[in-house]
Structure 1
């Protein structure tokens, strides 16, 4: 009908009559070739378009939110930016490329891929805590928690109705928290361009002037000088497609399957892999490579100087290759006897170390409990001296090992493995065995050393007089932080806070202990609670603490339950593959927001309705001949015809370009390339202010790490 008005009757396309007819449904008077030729098959080609989580969220919404929070920190004072960069440098790595070392200047956001922004989000909560004053700190933490929750749920590789309902309610909360935080901070802070944004705008305008795209040279310089005299005031832009597209994910997953089936992430990671190879092939002269090798050697030498030869954990240079193991076994350690210590001599050398108090009696209590077949309860049972004498350590030796590998089944019924090296903060979780308490299902510990011993058991309860190998872990226990009476600390999904743990003081009998590796569920990622600082009151100088920690501990740590999808499901509950821990993890299902307690949503119905509205009504087909009939052509409905990021003249909006990840098209000057290369070379360097040493160069599988060359693309999900 509208086409008849335009093409037969000559009605102006800008007339009120046309706008009133097309405007309410965002129609355009254009025929689509796809609609025309696919209609005879009953196929709506608009169904081909699925959400793109990588570009819409990680490089879109989250990047925009992160950028605006940095603007707020600059408005509050540059000291917050300095603290933020220092904290990101101190975030420990995790797994085989899951969380990598952050650069020295995380706020600069230079040369970051999608997986780097994903890491920033997963580790953001402890880093941003306390950087803004109290009226804004709590809303910021709520927002970051909800962003991480939404991201984790959206990237699940296996969904149930329950997890989709959680994602649906998380989408609602995310919009609420985002509007609330941005509205509150807009009243307090005048947010302006970041230094990098201002510099990029200046380069872009200078390039346009040089190309003569803005009139004469003099006029171009004059305009450039007028518009770059100071940073531009910037507000968070809510009117973008990427932000509003978050509401489509639940319906899309219900209709098409989990987001990994149609993610652009694998293709991007493969491209990144090839670019890395080309970069290495084109890298400097052999002389420069030789100099870089000397720097790496010097870094490793410094690491070795900080390592103690009689520490529980093996040193970096100690080689202990691991043979292939049965993937069905729950754990795997080396059977090598190369690195051994005489236990009595070792205890005499460290008799003043509080970590070794009652080391041998408690070790024998632990071994006796296992030899008697007693169920593990935290090694609370103490045996008599006569019973302990029935346990004989062959040659009075225990054997140290470099790494413990733990195999486990993920929430989506896949097999995976954690490599835990005590030299690099091997933190673990296991099922709790509390007689009383609040019902929290896990205990947490840090592995100090991985050992095995050849044990002979004698006496009436002995089942064999032959030596048998018994593997055990020496651990330092964490305790959950209850807060104070005036300010109790609560964590969980309802209050939007991460779990809080800290080392048990060394004068407590339960500060250290032994553990059967069979009890370990998997490794965990602990991030220091930077806002609480360090303390030296928990443990005097001891071999149980790494040398580079300067005889101090972080007061508290946050358990990063968003580090990967499997970890999140361990703390959310309902993981299909978590059969052995199902009863424990389902405890978390009762801890949920009031929106999560609602019933089924109508997301799928709404999605189908939206698809029906986009059905093409512009042609009729003669199905017998497969040709277009001469029937009247109707108007094509295209949802969202007004493209976000374009102004009334069809030009890209400048705020949209830079804020939502489209600003990589401007030319980079040679000086900026040199600066980026220098920044890249410094990534992961030693943080001299905090005495932190980066010692993960050249690590292999036997070290509990993988070399970066084997970690192409993105983190394991």
Structure 2
């Protein structure tokens, strides 16, 4: 790190004098570029005898041409190191046979989309056909569950850890807001990435890893095309017609197999791999990568390509200029019309349904439809529940809903055990409720921007995350979040003790429990694993289903099925249920939490997001929630019938959550409970210079980092 940062090339008079002297030897003295005189001048610093216009014109003003050449994440990482690693993993996949490749493609097709971040993948990802940089980024964020169980046994665990470290590094490198803590974490993960890449390259170099059939076919085609062009040139000067045979391909018996495919190794001796260690100090010196990413220019190319497509390919410059002028005029007209509309709406009251954008602006926790349309009405709640009498999801629908609403009405944070007389005082107005197709969850991202997650129980955007309650039991680990699947979004009007009807929104959910037998996180370098409970008793049903306040939802989350464990059909008693993941196969046995799905989700697990808040200590002991559930089974019993440990071999994390407080997660550098990243904006702005002890520690860390990377 110190070598890269403090021994960088300097654009000074000494450098420019060397270039001028070398050019004098070449152009005036007639010496070759490889001559001893030129080599003595340039070789020690790896200079080239090229006059840079910026250096010679702006160098005296303090401009440094070497400092202007910043990192290029789009081409160096996503289309560079990560693309090369992914290709190598696919070659390893072919060692397990064609069935593994087919299963690999099937799994990627089954990865659910997530909002506007993760798109549905192509039919045949292993072929790498027509894949852009954004697709490689999505693949990196989702490929860990896909590769699980398909790679050779010797590579399985190292590959999973490497993918986890790479995804963490990639997420930190693309943050739009960094602090000293996140930069320190970034330096640490960069060291881990360098070690993991070298270890994986050493592990796979002795395996018979060969190019894929598609790579071999492409290479064969290129060689034949090259030989055809050479022989065509020779034919012009030869009387004997040339002959071309596919068997004339160059063969190296040491590298080629029986089918002609050559051996392939993971090559880390490239500039792109070498440049990974430049990212932390570059971000520290020049700012976050979104300011100078080449992705900005690549996206701007769409505009030029769009203008070109609207021409007849004659007089292109004139036509594209005219198209650009017309587009600018139309955009100006559209801007003026929007300004007029805004002036008009200032004097008119807002509609009843303000919309998702308005809810973001006014600071609302969520956005939901306000209209009560007849097609969305469920008339006769008891009759609707009776129509699903064989469904475990609705077995305790009404009593659970009443307890949930009564808790919110009375403001009883400890979820007391309401008896039947109290529940009778709560009635649904006209015994009806309304269902909603969508729910928008508003949140503040780590970089202090207002964002919204759309939720829809009929799509893959149906999983949510809530803040977990800290536990006082030191023997039981505590995950910072709890997860649920949305079964329905509703609102109803209720009457409590003769008061006027009041509307209340609520969400019907099925809990997903954390699998502590397969812990994830930064320390274990694997994704967190979740699963449903097996519903065998009424108690299991009460633990599996519940109602929550939309205000308590922190964010939507991306859950990727555990393809290696597959599906199960016996978690619920009925063959058909509103709670099934899919009506055809039932439920997935386990899910993995996509903590890398976007930067905000990464920072929620890492901690330190300025726009995030830590949850307040919970006042709700878990035993009271258990007692509340027991009351629904046996109203006359006040005993706590909960049992310790797993139920039928299932995971056992209680879904106790708090009010809407956004959790910061835990430290990436250590798995200890007290190693949280506390970010103080005021201190971050005031403390511009570290103390002497901090500087000494940083230098020691940098030296260790250089040794680990080997640069």
TM > 0.5: yes
Q: Assess, with a 3 A threshold, how the Cα gap between structure 1 residues 237 and 593 changes in structure 2: closer, same or farther.
A: farther
1:154 to 140, 154, 173: 173
Note if 1:592 corresponds to 2:670: yes
1:221 to 244, 248, 252: 244
Deviations 1:331-356 (A, max 9, x none): 01112322121211111111121111
Deviations 1:63-97 (A, max 9, x none): 110011111111332222111101000000101x2
Query: Once the 2 structures are TM-superposed, how far is the Cα of residue 18 of structure 1 from its aligned partner?
Result: 5.0
Query: Once the 2 structures are TM-superposed, how far is the Cα of residue 452 of structure 1 from its aligned partner?
Result: 0.3
Note if 1:430 corresponds to 2:450: no
Q: Which moved more, 1:49-58 or 1:555-564?
A: 49-58
Aligned to 1:571: 605
Query: Once the 2 structures are TM-superposed, how far is the Cα of residue 211 of structure 1 from its aligned partner?
Result: 3.6
Aligned to 2:448: 413
TM-score, scaled to structure 1? 0.72
Q: Helix, strand or coil for the counterpart of 1:393?
A: strand
Q: Assess, with a 3 A threshold, how the Cα gap between structure 1 residues 76 and 539 changes in structure 2: closer, same or farther.
A: same
Aligned to 2:65: 45
Deviations 1:557-603 (A, max 9, x none): 00000000000000001111103559974451276379999986459
Note if 1:353 corresponds to 2:391: yes
Query: Once the 2 structures are TM-superposed, how far is the Cα of residue 547 of structure 1 from its aligned partner?
Result: 7.7
Aligned to 2:497: 458
Aligned to 1:363: 401
Q: Helix, strand or coil for the counterpart of 2:519?
A: coil
Counterparts of 1:427 and 1:605 in 2: how far apart (Å)? 41
Aligned to 2:104: 84
1:402 to 437, 449, 474: 437
Aligned to 1:138: 157
Counterparts of 1:202 and 1:442 in 2: how far apart (Å)? 52
Query: Once the 2 structures are TM-superposed, how far is the Cα of residue 231 of structure 1 from its aligned partner?
Result: 2.0
Counterparts of 2:155 and 2:354 in 1: how far apart (Å)? 50
Counterparts of 2:445 and 2:245 in 1: how far apart (Å)? 61
Q: Assess, with a 3 A threshold, how the Cα gap between structure 1 residues 593 and 230 changes in structure 2: closer, same or farther.
A: farther
Q: Helix, strand or coil for the counterpart of 2:70?
A: coil
Note if 1:261 corresponds to 2:295: no
Aligned to 1:340: 377
1:449 to 488, 494, 498: 488
1:382 to 406, 417, 420: 417
Q: Which moved more, 1:393-402 or 1:337-346?
A: 337-346
Note if 1:169 corresponds to 2:207: no
Query: Equivalences for 1:673-684 in 2 at 5 Å?
Result: none
Deviations 1:521-563 (A, max 9, x none): 0000000011111112312334323584425211110000000
Deviations 1:451-495 (A, max 9, x none): 000011117xxxxx1111000000000000122xxxxx2211111
Counterparts of 1:251 and 1:103 in 2: how far apart (Å)? 36
Query: Equivalences for 1:232-271 in 2 at 5 Å?
Result: 232-271=262-301
Q: Helix, strand or coil for the counterpart of 1:576?
A: coil
CA contact (8 A) 1:205 1:224 kept: no
Counterparts of 1:381 and 1:219 in 2: how far apart (Å)? 92
Q: Helix, strand or coil for the counterpart of 1:447?
A: strand
Counterparts of 1:280 and 1:62 in 2: how far apart (Å)? 36
CA contact (8 A) 1:409 1:578 kept: yes
Q: Helix, strand or coil for the counterpart of 1:88?
A: helix
Q: Assess, with a 3 A threshold, how the Cα gap between structure 1 residues 427 and 80 changes in structure 2: closer, same or farther.
A: same
Q: Helix, strand or coil for the counterpart of 2:67?
A: helix
Q: Helix, strand or coil for the counterpart of 1:37?
A: helix
Query: Equivalences for 1:251-650 in 2 at 5 Å?
Result: 251-272=281-302, 323=355, 325-327=358-360, 328-338=363-373, 339-341=376-378, 342-375=380-413, 381-425=416-460, 426-433=462-469, 435=471, 436=473, 437-458=476-497, 465-483=499-517, 489-507=518-536, 508=540, 509-540=542-573, 541-546=575-580, 548-579=582-613, 581=615, 585-589=663-667, 592=670, 601=698
Query: Once the 2 structures are TM-superposed, how far is the Cα of residue 440 of structure 1 from its aligned partner?
Result: 1.7
Counterparts of 2:164 and 2:243 in 1: how far apart (Å)? 46
Q: Assess, with a 3 A threshold, how the Cα gap between structure 1 residues 155 and 355 changes in structure 2: closer, same or farther.
A: same
Q: Assess, with a 3 A threshold, how the Cα gap between structure 1 residues 174 and 280 changes in structure 2: closer, same or farther.
A: farther
Query: Once the 2 structures are TM-superposed, how far is the Cα of residue 278 of structure 1 from its aligned partner?
Result: 8.5
Q: Helix, strand or coil for the counterpart of 1:423?
A: coil
Query: Once the 2 structures are TM-superposed, how far is the Cα of residue 357 of structure 1 from its aligned partner?
Result: 1.8
Q: Assess, with a 3 A threshold, how the Cα gap between structure 1 residues 417 and 221 changes in structure 2: closer, same or farther.
A: same
Q: Assess, with a 3 A threshold, how the Cα gap between structure 1 residues 391 and 279 changes in structure 2: closer, same or farther.
A: farther
Q: Assess, with a 3 A threshold, how the Cα gap between structure 1 residues 591 and 19 changes in structure 2: closer, same or farther.
A: closer
Query: Once the 2 structures are TM-superposed, how far is the Cα of residue 21 of structure 1 from its aligned partner?
Result: 5.1
Query: Once the 2 structures are TM-superposed, how far is the Cα of residue 30 of structure 1 from its aligned partner?
Result: 4.3
Query: Taking CA–CA contacts closer than 8 Å with sequence separation of 6 or more, which of the two structures ends up with the larger relative contact order?
Result: 1
Q: CA RMSD in A?
A: 3.3
What stretches of structure 1 of length at least 5 have no aligned partner?
283-319, 460-464, 484-488, 610-639, 641-717
CA contact (8 A) 1:251 1:603 kept: no
What stretches of structure 2 of length at least 5 have no aligned partner?
1-17, 236-240, 252-258, 313-351, 618-661, 678-693
1:205 to 204, 223, 243: 223
TM-score, scaled to structure 2? 0.72
Query: Once the 2 structures are TM-superposed, how far is the Cα of residue 161 of structure 1 from its aligned partner?
Result: 1.0
